[in-house]
A and B are shown apart, each in its own frame.
Chain A
């Protein structure tokens, strides 16, 4: 590495997460400069990140890398929702063609040492044949045929190709679980912001979340550490979809899968929620990823568990349900507190045991 700190190029800084990631990386002591790249200028405060207006879909990006003597590229410009990009075609072009151009430029840049790509656990898909926890070596049981998941699968393929062609390049692929936070807008957060949650009748998906702060932290961590490889990044623990809805105190409406899909596409066209088609299978079967390698090889420990990240997300949301909880707590207030009694275990054993035993 250059002795006086690294020069980091971050793509996709016009969006909130990209901008925050760029600022977070800039605050790292080993980093000398951070250059943010995007087609539109970022809306928020960039701090000491210098912004270069460039499209990663054309070869100009190679000149930026060469001229600024970039040694680390952080690729954040993978869009998950067609709505924000202006249609599925634009989204696919941004994701796939943009990544191809960027990686081509990376291959030609002799000074480049490190590539960090923010991927997602969506590449594992979601089906009834899934193992409970995906490790990094596992493949999706059904190859994605469309949408975001297919984009990400293709992007990962190109990234692996670059890794083969440039063995001197350290490539870190971070497969992040669904990022959640008070200000994150993504398909899953817009789903949970609905006042009433449509769920798939008879299924209860297992969900894993990664807090926004932890995503920024893991990006910073992987820029400054000498580790490479593919890592699942997710908060500890699992929340069931029903449990998540109860924690948000949101009423749920179970309906058959096709009805949820229809409602989702209606909500998308009405621009109420960015409900993507692959989200339906996610909300049906759910997904869990194993984070052992993240802890042991990458050496990263998320600050938020899945439940804590979700609680932080939910703390700013208005409550739309929770009537039964109020009734129960009102009833419970009429009764003495059961737990401080020291004789509790014996009393449980006598009448309760007889009843339930």
Chain B
């Protein structure tokens, strides 16, 4: 400790780094290997630096193909001087390393059977790119719905809203049926969640009936058709029910999703009962569905009717977060959801022409509405809190 090491800072006016008597360490690494090892300057070499050199030394002969007896001389003779552009990051990595890395990544992503898995995925991708898939007459693309839409919605249903399902046995596993649900939540998220819930529990695709606004909006329109929706009109409803599909309908429509938060869980008017006529004509059962939790995802506290009219939408919502936080306000609140499917209401034991009897249609409509309203109240009683 007596004589302190003097570590010079800077070059003391001389050009370049170091003392000028020997090349810098970077230059030494580039230069062809000389048999004489550079003398370690006691005043300068710090211990970690020499250790680094000591490690680097034995690897270099191993990389060259020459036998270890005379490790340096032939390398110096054959190897040309290395230039900086050859040290491009990709040039230095051999192809086999890339392949190994790719295989490891594939193993990571697709598991042990990665080769057939990846080949199957590529075949799927190829089918999509060449258009080699079929859609049904409503434009429903089962493959993309199953692989992408459902996969994207599933975490939201399971992790964000923690949907709890009751009475799923009431949904028929085959044949036509009409699922009638309450509508809430400012944005029809409840429809999407019902679709993914029914698909995951009984493996059927719920075919939603949407308002004509859905098919007028760009992007929404094509997504809706691809995921199996069609226009809520009696022709399409009856056609789908006759075709044995599981059809979903939200008779409250925009009155339901666009109602203020203060009126939550109060069912609005159930349209004109067109869904009952369709079910009566086709003789399919009506399955009432009560959804609790969707009212709280975007509490609608205000509306901008003027702007909504200009934009051609039924309402323009103000929630506690929406215009205030910008896009962040579009994140739904993580309320706890309960879905209860009620006992199916049979429509096949009415005599023919029942659908032309408005009084009967109104009665059945009221029956469905009352069932859903009562189920909503009982679910609300059972619910501990909004978020739990």
Contacts and interface: CB of A to CB of B under 8 A. Distances in A.
Given A132-B231, A336-B116, A341-B116, A325 B239 contact: no
6 contacts: A237-B137, A240-B139, A322-B130, A335-B122, A336-B116, A344-B116
Contacts of B137: 132-133, 206, 237-238, 288
A133 B135 contact: no
A352 B231 CA distance: 35
Contacts of A130: 231
Interface in B220-238: 220-222, 225-226, 230-231, 233, 235-236
B212 interface: yes
B116 A356 contact: no
Given A204-B226, A338-B116, A128 B215 contact: yes
Contacts of A203: 218, 221-222
Interface in B141-178: 141, 147, 151
A18 to B, nearest CB: 31
B262 to A, nearest CB: 33
A138 B225 CA distance: 21
Interface string A324-357: 1100110110011111010010011011101110
B199 interface: no
Interface stretch (B33-41, B49-57, B105-113, B279-287): B105-113
Interface string B113-129: 10111111011011011
B216 A138 contact: no
Contacts of B215: 128-129, 285
B138 interface: yes
Contacts of A196: none
Interface string A67-111: 000000000000000000000000000000000000000000000
Contact of B136 (A238, A249, A338): A238
Given A243-B135, A332-B119, A347-B116, A132 B218 contact: no
A249 B130 contact: yes
Contacts of B217: 202
Nearest to B237: A131
A245 interface: yes
Pick the 5 closest A-B CB pairs, nearest first.
A202-B218, A351-B111, A246-B131, A338-B116, A202-B219
Interface of A: 128-133, 135, 138, 200-204, 206, 237-240, 242-247, 249, 256, 285-286, 288, 307, 322, 324-325, 328-329, 331-332, 335-339, 341, 344, 347-348, 350-352, 354-356
Contacts of A354: 111
Nearest to A332: B122
Interface residues of B, number: 46
A201 to B, nearest CB: 6
B98 interface: no
B225 A325 contact: no
A347 B117 contact: yes
A280 to B, nearest CB: 14
A244 B215 CA distance: 20
B133 interface: yes
B134 interface: yes
Given A243-B131, A249-B130, 10 more contacts: A131-B239, A203-B218, A238-B136, A238-B139, A245-B131, A246-B129, A328-B129, A335-B119, A348-B120, A354-B111
Contacts of B126: 325, 328-329, 332
A114 to B, nearest CB: 31
Nearest to B221: A203
Contacts of A249: 130
A172 B39 CA distance: 106
Most B C-beta atoms less than 10 A away, residue of A130, A131, A348, A356: A131
Contacts of A138: 235
B218 A131 contact: no
B134 A202 contact: no
B222 A336 contact: no
Given A324-B129, A352-B117, A128 B139 contact: no
Contacts of A325: 126, 129-130
Contacts of B125: 328
Interface in B311-344: none
B131 A351 contact: no
A142 to B, nearest CB: 12
A129 B107 CA distance: 49
B131 to A, nearest CB: 3
Contacts of B151: 356
A128 B139 CA distance: 14
A131 B120 contact: no
Given A128-B215, A130-B231, A238-B136, A347 B129 contact: no
B139 A338 contact: no
A130 B147 CA distance: 28
Nearest to A328: B126
A224 to B, nearest CB: 30
Contacts of A344: 116
Nearest to B146: A356
B222 A204 contact: yes
B22 to A, nearest CB: 51
B154 to A, nearest CB: 8
A243 B110 contact: no
A329 B120 CA distance: 12
A355 B131 CA distance: 25
Given A138-B235, A202-B218, A351-B112, A338 B119 contact: yes
